[in-house]
Amino acid sequence: MKLQTAIDRVSLEDAVAMAKALNGKMDILEMGTSLIKDYGNLAIEQIRQVLTETELLVDLKTIDEGAYEFRQGYLHGGDILTVMGAASYDTLKACYEVSQEKGKTMMIDLLEVDENKIEQILDFDEAIFCLHHSIDRKDTLDATGSVAAFHQRFPQVKRIAIAGGIDLQQAKELAAQGLTEIVIVGSKITKSSEPAKTVEMFMEAIHQ
Amino acid sequence: MKLQTAIDRVSLEDAVAMAKALNGKMDILEMGTSLIKDYGNLAIEQIRQVLTETELLVDLKTIDEGAYEFRQGYLHGGDILTVMGAASYDTLKACYEVSQEKGKTMMIDLLEVDENKIEQILDFDEAIFCLHHSIDRKDTLDATGSVAAFHQRFPQVKRIAIAGGIDLQQAKELAAQGLTEIVIVGSKITKSSEPAKTVEMFMEAIHQ
């Protein structure tokens, strides 16, 4: 299982410093949506420049204009880009085609997407399907339970990621369960007093 | 009925020049999602600065982190901000609360949202509900038909907008129908050879 760490709601200067400090320490660094919306796609290049040993996911959360947004995201240095499962099938298809053409990866964010919609978007074989619990929701996430239920319902999905308030204990349980390709941890790492140490702790925990 | 013109997929320099040329010529100027994602929220200020006589809608397409994104959007100069109807209820509520607190307006983008979901988000009284046909979809939009059907199904929604490939004829028909508060026209104006003249033509057509 890979560890993805999300940087969000900080200044670009702080984001670049954090990317530098975390470079090589985990599998994937996520440049959060807030950084894109605050600073724009051009800022991807500043993160990319210091991130020499870790994959870069840009959380574009594309929901329309799929080809345009994905071309921009890859052009400026993203390895993995996100599109909303809530987008139209045609938008998802446009994103997928750009990702395949560029030899890059598409992640489908399943935030607020129901099973009927998921059934309609299962033919993106190489896409990563991300179970995502909104940061604005007041209820909490049963991580392993959600992954198990998803896998049982959609066994044809090969690549699963999960995000939404995941802590160390949940990350360990997900690793033990063996169904998740990427666990995404945001504030539990980046808002900790020493992110570089916390990320090591998570990496050790999930690779036991 | 108000006319909203959307600027998308151009350089920031061209967007500012176009905003300057269109200032005061129509009711609302939309800074499209592509401009936000390419240049960031800071770019709102550059548009705001030249837009002294027209309202500014920023098409944030928020789908998570509602309060953060809306605070940023209003802070940098937006009058109206968009949130996806596909977002969680809690995200929509967070956006609505910020818009009410700031005395500003929230538009709910109904892209790919079904009737069940709309039923759950009807209690945002002052919000504008925007019927939106994805730019990536291959089928076309029956504008007046869509508005009539929506109004019949959800008569309690006071404020309706519509977007998605609207042309001059459709805009006229929407004006005559009298149910739409805002008609949103993108490329038919901004990609025309003389946007300032085309916008005048639309304004005349819908105010006959």
CB A86 to CB B67 under 8 A? no
Q: Give the pLDDT score at A56.
A: 98
CB A34 to CB B67 under 8 A? no
Q: Give the pLDDT score at B36.
A: 98
The DSSP line for chain B is -EEEEEE-SS-HHHHHHHHHHHTTTSSEEEE-HHHHHHH-THHHHHHHHH-SSSEEEEEEEE-S-HHHHHHHHHHTT-SEEEEETTS-HHHHHHHHHHHHHHT-EEEEE-TT--HHHHHHTTT-TTPEEEEE--TT-SS---HHHHHHHHHHH-TT---EEEESS--HHHHHHHHHHT--SEEEE-HHHHTSS-HHHHHHHHHHHHT-
End-to-end CA distance of chain B: 11
Residue A165 pLDDT > 90: no
What integer best gives the mean pLDDT of chain A?
95
Q: Give the pLDDT score at B134.
A: 72
Q: Give the pLDDT score at A140.
A: 73
Instruction: Compare CB distances from A86 to B43, B65, B112 and report the shortest one's residue.
Output: B112
A141 to chain B: which residues are within 8 Å by CB? Answer: none
Question: Average of pLDDT values for A177-197?
Answer: 95
Q: Give the pLDDT score at A136.
A: 75
CB B136 to CB A65 under 8 A? yes
Residues of chain A above pLDDT 70, percent = 100
What integer best gives the mean pLDDT of chain B?
95
The number of angstroms, rounded, from the C-alpha of A33 to the middle of its chain's C-alpha atoms is 10
Instruction: Compare CB distances from B64 to A41, A93, A134 and report the shortest one's residue.
Output: A134
Domain that holds residue A121: 2-206
- Answer whether B91 touches A (CB < 8 Å): yes
Residues composing chain A: 208
d(CA B175, CA B169): 10
The DSSP line for chain A is -EEEEEE-SS-HHHHHHHHHHHTTTSSEEEE-HHHHHHH-THHHHHHHHH-SSSEEEEEEEE-S-HHHHHHHHHHTT-SEEEEETTS-HHHHHHHHHHHHHTT-EEEEE-TT--HHHHHHTTT-TTPEEEEE--TT-SS---HHHHHHHHHHH-TT---EEEESS--HHHHHHHHHHT--SEEEE-HHHHTSS-HHHHHHHHHHHHT-
Instruction: Compare CB distances from A37 to B9, B40, B88 and report the shortest one's residue.
Output: B40
Q: Give the pLDDT score at A109.
A: 98
Q: Which of B104, B98, B97, B96 is nearest to B77 (CA)?
A: B104
Domain count, chain A: 1
**Banded pLDDT at B165 (limits 50, 70, 90):** confident
- Answer whether A19 touches B (CB < 8 Å): no
Q: Give the pLDDT score at A137.
A: 72
Residue A208 pLDDT > 90: no
For B43-82, write each residue's pLDDT tens digit.
999 999 999 999 999 999 999 999 999 999 999 999 999 9
Q: Give the pLDDT score at A74.
A: 98
- Answer whether A65 touches B (CB < 8 Å): yes
CB B63 to CB A64 under 8 A? no
Instruction: Compare CB distances from A64 to B60, B69, B134 and report the shortest one's residue.
Output: B134
Q: Give the pLDDT score at B40.
A: 97
Residue B161 pLDDT > 80: yes
We report the CATH number of the domain holding residue B6 as 3.20.20.70
For A31-77, write each residue's pLDDT tens digit.
999 999 999 999 999 999 999 999 999 999 999 999 999 999 999 99
Residues of A (165-184) whose Cβ lies below 8 Å from B: none
Q: Which sign, positive or negative, has the C-alpha torsion B121, B123, B124, B128?
A: positive
For A128-140, write each residue's pLDDT tens digit.
999 998 777 777 7
The number of angstroms, rounded, from the C-alpha of A92 to the middle of its chain's C-alpha atoms is 16
Supply the ipTM of this predicted assembly: 0.94
A8 to chain B: which residues are within 8 Å by CB? Answer: 65
CB A87 to CB B134 under 8 A? yes
CB B135 to CB A87 under 8 A? no
B136 to chain A: which residues are within 8 Å by CB? Answer: 64-67, 87-88, 90-91, 93-94
Mutate to test the interface with B, among A8, A11, A37 (most CBs of B within 10 A): A37
Residue B138 pLDDT > 90: no
Question: Average of pLDDT values for B88-115?
Answer: 97
